[in-house]
Amino acid sequence: MTREWNKRVDEVQELHEAGGLSRRDFIRFAGIAGAALGLCGGPFGLVSAAMAAKSIRFDGWGGTTSEAFRKYAFEPFSKATGIEVIDGEFGDMDSYLTRVKASFPPGGEFNLAHLSGVFDYARYVGLGYESVLDESKIPNLANVMTAMVEPYRKITPKGLSAVPYDLGQTGIAYNTNKISKDKAEKLGAGLLFDESLKGKLGSWTDWRTNIWYAALATGQNPNDIENMDKVWSALRKQRDLIKKYWGSGAELMSLLANEEIYATPAWSGRVAHLQDQGHPIGFLQPEGTYSWQECIFVLKGSDADTAQKLLNYMLAPKAAVAVAEAQKYPPSLDPTKVEMPESVRKLPAFDPTGQLKGYLFGVPDYWNGHQLEWAEMWDRVMAGA
């Protein structure tokens, strides 16, 4: 009888997750199963867990990005499974890591995070915050671009602690009514250091982004900077030209939309939103444009089954494409394996080949190895020292 009940529970659970059985009916069935079998462990831990209030926390970038996740991933997932996704937000990578470190135990109150690039993956693994995912429980991972998965496997060859979810570029946004396309393309990264734009330039508070573009503007490879004095000198001069260092995507969009600034490093997805809203904003991608990918990292100590269930749901083409359309960043799904609508194919940073050749990503060891020194110096420069 136990074997037959096990099979029946599995069938009902699958039907419920597929949306074919209401949560009320599922709980009613769970109650009958519990009464019949005493909820005595084994596979019936699933029944017990289903009857309990389950939740998992997800922290992301806020604004339009979090709205996209909430509407097209979290809410449908909760409706299908009864598992609540507690949606948190952060403004930058370093401040979130500080919160994770301060929690007890480290990472204790946090579960999943929408981390930027491979930098954070390496940092979190180095701090011992990694988990080991059971990829057999995330079958949709098979549709993710190999070029996006490989960098993570190199860091944790014994098992992934995250799944790649989207990609984008931090290019240069500029007001096309104030700056001509010819001028922007001629200056390239130098547009961010153009003295004629004094008081109308903006930049992000992030140290990596500023050093990256200062390296490009001084003719250097961002992943192998030979003369940091030139970089710091360029950033100090730029400081006198800056109207505002912005700290969030919402602030970035507001500054551009209200024409408080005419040019700034900017995330491709936020620029796409402004363009859709009718604002005269161009997106410049000079040679060496800062390309990045984002992953969903599962912190050590999180409920693995729930996390993997959510990850697999989010990587399903229906959810991944809907989130991509809403947040304006291409999904990690390989377009040679999963058909993409035109709305996704036209997004900035979309690669129809799925191989990401020609995209310049930051080298994790190089940038993480300089973080303490460069981040401290950047704070001084940004403050005017």
Q: pLDDT value at position 63? A: 85
Residues 27-46: what's their mean pLDDT?
A: 44
Which residue reads 């922290």 in tokens? 59
User: What is the rounded distance in angstroms from the CA atom of residue 330 to the CA atom of residue 166?
Assistant: 6
Both 32 and 69 in one domain: the answer is no
Q: Are 43 and 152 members of one domain? A: no
**pLDDT surpasses 90 at 13:** no
- More confident of the two residues 6 and 224: 224
**pLDDT confidence tier of residue 9, bands split at 50, 70 and 90:** very low
Range list of β-strands (E), 230-279: 242-246, 263-267
The band of 11, judged by pLDDT with boundaries at 50, 70 and 90, is low
Question: What is the model's pLDDT at position 49?
Answer: 41
Q: Residue 147's CB: how many other CB atoms inside 10 A?
A: 20
Same structural domain, 85 and 114: yes
Per-residue pLDDT tens over the stretch 289-315: 999 999 999 999 999 999 999 999 999
In a shared domain, residues 337 and 205: no
Higher pLDDT, 105 or 172: 172
Length reported for the chain = 385
Question: At residue 123, does pLDDT exceed 90?
Answer: yes
The whole-number pLDDT of residue 94 equals 87
Do residues 123 and 149 both lie within one domain? yes
Q: How far apart are CA 219 and CA 215, in angstroms?
A: 6
In this structure, are 44 and 130 located in the same domain? Answer: no
Say yes or no: 256 and 340 in one domain: no
pLDDT-derived band at 36 (thresholds 50, 70, 90) equals: very low
Domain tally, the chain: 3
Same domain? For 240 and 268 the reply is yes
**Do 137 and 257 fall into the same domain?**
no
The arithmetic mean of pLDDT across residues 103-124, rounded, is: 89
Q: Are residues 60 and 149 in the same domain?
A: yes
Are 175 and 163 members of one domain? no
The lowest-confidence range among 98-107, 159-168, 252-261 is 98-107
Q: Which residues of 178-204 are buried (b: 16+ CB within 10 A; e: fewer)?
A: ebeeeebeebbbbbbbbeebeebbbbb
pLDDT at residue 275 greater than cutoff 60: yes
Between 42 and 288, name the one with better pLDDT.
288
Sorting pLDDT into bands at 50, 70 and 90, what band is 107? confident
* Residue span of the structural domain in which 239 resides: 168-291+364-382
b/e sequence 332-359, b meaning 16+ C-beta within 10 Å? bbbbeebebeeebeebbbbbeebebeeb
pLDDT of residue 106: 73
Q: What is the CATH number of the domain that holds 285?
A: 3.40.190.10
Least confident of 93-107, 245-259, 263-277, 317-331: 93-107
Q: What is the mean pLDDT of the chain?
A: 88
Tell me, yes or no, whether 110 and 61 share the same domain: yes
CA dist 26 and 96 (Å) reads 37
Overall average pLDDT of the 35-61 stretch: 57
Query: How much of the chain exceeds pLDDT 90, in percent?
Result: 78
Per-residue pLDDT, averaged over 66-89, amounts to 96
